[in-house]
A and B are shown apart, each in its own frame.
Chain A
Amino acid sequence: MAGTVALSVAATSITRTRATTEPALVRWTLIGVVLVFLGLFLAVPLAAVFSEALGKGVAAYFAAFREPDALAAIRLTLLTAAIAVPVNLLFGVAAAWAIAKFEFVGKNLLITLIDLPFSVSPVVSGLIYVLLFGLQGWLGPWLAEHDIKIIFAVPGIVLATIFVTFPFVARELIPLMQAQGTEEEEAARVLGAGGWQTFWRITLPNIKWGLLYGVILCNARAMGEFGAVSVVSGHVRGLTNTVPLHVEILYNEYNSTAAFAVASLLAMLALVTLAAKSIVEWKSQRQMAAGKRTAAEGKVR
């Protein structure tokens, strides 16, 4: 839920002349529409989450977290993110590196495949795993024979999360690395640097802000994913419930204070993510601008 909201406020305040701007009425109407929309769909729900959560006092709010099931859900969510994010970080960097710096057959197919999780409904992604690893699935009998549990267990949740958060890092890095080209790597190679040295000293520092940005989004989604995880989890309290699933269960049990208290955790994650995202965005834009300036000045004849 968090992070997918594209909230980019233009921080630049340019004083424009009359010739290039709309009448005040038009401007303020448009800004007003946007603000009302944001208020209705973002600010009010967010406020509602916290007011409901704190409605019965601070004590009740914190009591919701002392419950063993809630703690288990938080632990599982953290564990899932701790596995899914590094895996997708490695995959994302490798895929972006391959796509941006090399020519090979099937490159376009790979780019399309990376986008697949974005275009498939998360519920369908979850079902794919059930079909693959479930008892009636293709690999089900073999897994049952060897006593490996994937569906309705932690591995299934991790797998589904990895699948859903697959594109974030790669998608962020591919355009960045393509824009940067391969000249700096070539320069490093001619100067005697090996493959690893080139990667650690040249490539990675050049993409670090883009990478961090991708990781933040990936993490937000990994912790907040509901659909795919819901299908494969089996909702076993204290065992296979992540935070979003736990919220649903509490809500369905009319335990709204606890539900909103736990939900407020996710809301706070969203806010932290937004803040981190803005900072990183600002940093990386400055770097991109500097890079572009270098390139543009280099090309002026």
Chain B
Amino acid sequence: MSIEVRHITKTFGDFTALKEVSLEIPTGELIALLGPSGSGKTTLLRVIAGLEVADPGSGAILFDGEDATSRSSRDRQVGFVFQHYALFRHMTIFENVAFGLRVRPRKVRPSESEIRERVSALLKLVQLDWLAARYPSQLSGGQRQRVALARALAVEPKVLLLDEPFGSLDAKVRKELRRWLRRLHDELHVTSVFVTHDQEEALEVADRVVVMNEGRVEQVGTPDQVYHHPANPFVYNFLGNVNLFNGRVEGGKVHIGDMAMELPEQMRPDAETAVVYVRPHLLEIDHQPTNTNHFRARVEHINPAGPLVKVELISEWGDPVQVEISQERYRDLRLKKDAEVFVTPKEKKIFVEKYSI
């Protein structure tokens, strides 16, 4: 089932959680709603599920082109996985999964044997059939997560909505589970939307990523698009570490210290300041100046643990700069604390700030 969100606004008292949000989700896609806390991503998910009602007169939610705005959450045929799972604590795992089938009106309720069959199949799918008789409190976080997913799938939802599905798990379980979710989605092909504040998770799992900030959608695109072609500074900033350099615009070039960088053609207009964004791994360190586009810096701190060596520098104008270099390069350079180095941006992204004075 496809979902369309049209100009949805949602306010809680004075706080505006969603501002005129529009979004289209085609059938069968796996979408990530990515944003910092308070960006409105969970609210949007709850509005789609019908657990939250958008402000009156603000817009519509369409399922398969049909207006579902006034449909209650009971009738939306969505599966919802809550952040803290919300498993029914007084029911066994089996009964938790069977719940959605048992509460159906008598006419459409499957028989006891059908329920049994279906629940067992689902528990097998999430690899927890051996825990059917346990209670939620006896399960680990990752197991509960999978039960919550099985329970949501039991009612054969047209849409699967997941609120921070891996948010409360430890790093290792988290990685396993998200790969597993991706595989599951490829098997079931049910339209899925999940909320996350973890950019790595969104980029790894989703077909498309919706980056949200302060109740607005900043960018929608494939993980590749949002990572390599961010629409604005917020997206660039949010999707990974980044260094910011403030520069002056003069004669079609951005000047930062002694560096002068060409402005892209379409950015030339009346702006006076520009911000240059460079990811830490796209900065080159050298003992000698290599070309004109470099700046001087002093090594402040080196952290060689991990696949890349993280070097903290203080630039000639006194700002901290983060650089990531390979272990190999680190050995070749023989970097020491307080060494003077030259830094060259290999690739950068320039955003011009327009002052409305």
Contacts and interface: CB of A to CB of B under 8 A. Distances in A.
Contacts of B144: 298
Interface residues of A, number: 26
A199 to B, nearest CB: 12
A194 B103 CA distance: 8
Given A290-B89, A301-B168, A187 B80 contact: yes
B274 interface: no
B137 A294 contact: yes
A219 interface: no
A189 B89 CA distance: 16
Interface string B149-171: 00110110000000000011010
A193 B103 contact: yes
A58 interface: no
Given A291-B89, A298-B144, A300-B141, A186 B82 contact: yes
9 contacts: A183-B82, A184-B87, A186-B51, A187-B88, A190-B152, A191-B99, A191-B100, A294-B87, A301-B170
B104 A192 contact: yes
A107 interface: no
Given A201-B103, A205-B90, A294-B89, A189 B84 contact: no
A133 B154 CA distance: 58
Contact of B86 (A186, A297, A299): A186
Contacts of B140: 297
B155 A192 contact: yes
Nearest to B108: A192
B157 to A, nearest CB: 9
A189 B74 contact: yes
A202 B88 contact: yes
B73 A189 contact: yes
B137 A194 contact: no
Among B49, B103, B155, B167, the one with the most A-chain Cβ atoms within 10 Å of its Cβ is: B103
A190 B73 contact: yes
Nearest to A185: B86
A293 B87 CA distance: 13
Contacts of A183: 82, 84, 86
B95 to A, nearest CB: 10
Interface string B54-91: 00000000000000000011101011101011111110
A87 interface: no
Contacts of B76: 190
A178 interface: no
A204 B76 CA distance: 25
A300 B135 CA distance: 19
Given A294-B136, A298-B144, A301-B168, A190 B84 contact: no
